[in-house]
Amino acid sequence: MRTLKAVIALVALIPALAFAQGKPGIRFGPLELHPYAKIAGTYDSNIYMVSPDLSAVQQGGGVKKAVISDNTFGVNAKLALTSMHTFEGGYEVAALFYSTMPKANDTINQKASLNYVYKGPMGLSAKVGDTYLNTMDPAFSESATRERRWQNTANLTGEYSILEGPAFVGVNAEQVTHKYLSSSMGALLNRYEQIFGLKGGYKVLPKTRVYAGYRRQIIHYSVHTDLPKDNKSHFIDLGVEGNIAPKLTGKIEASMSLRDYDNNNAGKSTATYVHNWAMTTQLVWKPLERCQTTLGVTRSLQESTFADNRYYESTAFNLGLTHKLPWKLTATIGAGATFDRYPKLSAVTVTGPNGTSGTTVGTRKDHIYSQNLGLDYEMKSWATIFASYSHKQKFSNFSGQYNYCDHQVSAGVKLAL
């Protein structure tokens, strides 16, 4: 506890010293450091996100409440060697301590990233980077119980403006590796995902451009089962990004996809094709100087471990409003909805309200709704006190054992330089 207090004091002191010198961040020649921290306490009414206790059966020990201490520390760094060559990176560690069942729930999560950015002549630019994440999955999600996993993402992007004019072409490549430390979860979810593609577009306005592109995706699992999940996909993308309308910025992208599953079973290889469409929308509307609205809409295929479904379709909507009040106060309000649909008819043994078991047959559909409120008070330009409330509720047509309700109340301080 004394060590934690000392670290908090040190993180708070660094911004004070730096701003006393009139300099944002901490600088050592071309190296720029931006430390940050968050110290917060959260009351969570359902830490495992499970249904209310069923007679004779309690998933994960049933509904458990806890006070969670969140101690997050990190630093972002930038090293500008020249106007053309820049390195960017960061490191973050978050220590979460639970008042309920600490041996099963306490965790230390880490994230590290490093990128090289090139801005060359004649409209040529590129970025090469890697991001490593070591974390604990939340309990009883669709795909995992509370399990330790790591994820590594390596990516490359490049772009060239033809004759330094409004037309441009670009390339991208990415590999994501998922690794669960548990052998049981690893057999279900350990995999790598590769994606590479190209796009071309035209700048219709100084800060607005339209584009079209093609992507190829490969997902390969480490362990092969009776239900092969390895697949390859083609994507055709159409989008617009930048200043889309007055006071409206962001990106709207729609995609058509064709996924091909390789059903290599009993020495025979047949193909299973899945036609689908996807969307990525991220919009920011700022009608007034102190008011900002954000809208996010996504639709995609997600990997599944439920019954004999190899994937599920997930469509998510998120709307948020931020408004700056007098006295250095900022209020936020938001709402979201996620709709998950599983394509195959499934038969699963479920537990009834009296502890009796039976078989449910049907096509599973889950609806998840969330709401949140927040209030921030800016004590200093580098120190903010915050309080927030969030509510999340899930409804499944398949079985009540997949339903849950969760309330979270948080308060703490954020420091950023």
The number of distinct structural domains making up the chain is 1
Sign of the dihedral through C-alpha 246, 248, 250, 256: negative
Half-sphere exposure of 291 (CA within 13 A, CB side): 3
CA distance 35 to 28: 14
**Structural contact between residues 284 and 248, judged by C-beta atoms closer than 8 angstroms:** yes
For residue 12, being part of any structural domain is answered with no
**Is residue 222's pLDDT more than 70?**
yes
Residue type present at position 194: Q
Residue with the bigger pLDDT between 406 and 182: it is 406
The CATH number that applies at residue 368 is: 2.40.160
Element (H, E) at 298: strand 291-303
Average pLDDT of span 123-150: 86
One-letter amino acid for residue 204 of the chain: V
Q: β-strands 31-44, 66-80: how paired?
A: antiparallel
CB atoms within 10 A of CB 159: 16
> With DSSP H G I counted as helix, E B as strand and the rest as coil, what are the percentages for the chain, rounded to 5?
10, 65, 25
* CB contact set of 261 (below 8 Å; sequence gap of 6+): 228, 229, 230, 231, 271, 272, 273, 274, 310
Asked whether residue 54 is domain-assigned, the answer is yes
Residues in a beta bridge with 122: none
Rounded to whole angstroms, how far apart are CA atoms 368 and 318?
12
pLDDT attached to residue 111: 97
Alpha-carbon distance of 400 to 417, in angstroms, equals: 47
From the list 393, 392, 394, 387, the residue with the least C-alpha distance to 409 is 387
Residues spanned by the domain of 77:
34-416
Is 196 within a domain?
yes
Q: How many CA atoms lie within 13 A of 246 on its CB side?
A: 2
List Cα–Cα distances, 272 to 198, 228, 232, 255, 364, in angstroms. 26, 11, 11, 20, 21
∠ CA 303-309-315, nearest 5°, is 55
For residue 46, give the nearest of 407, 337, 399 by alpha carbon. 407
What's the pLDDT at 268?
44
The per-residue pLDDT for 184 is: 84
pTM: 0.86
pLDDT tens, residue by residue, 369-388: 999 999 999 999 899 999 99
Domain membership flag for residue 374: yes
- pLDDT (tens digit per residue) in 123-133: 899 999 999 99
4 within domain boundaries: no
What pLDDT, on the 0 to 100 scale, is given for residue 121? 86
238 found inside a domain: yes
With bands split at pLDDT 50, 70 and 90, how would you rate the model's confidence at 354? low
Q: Is residue 114 part of a domain?
A: yes
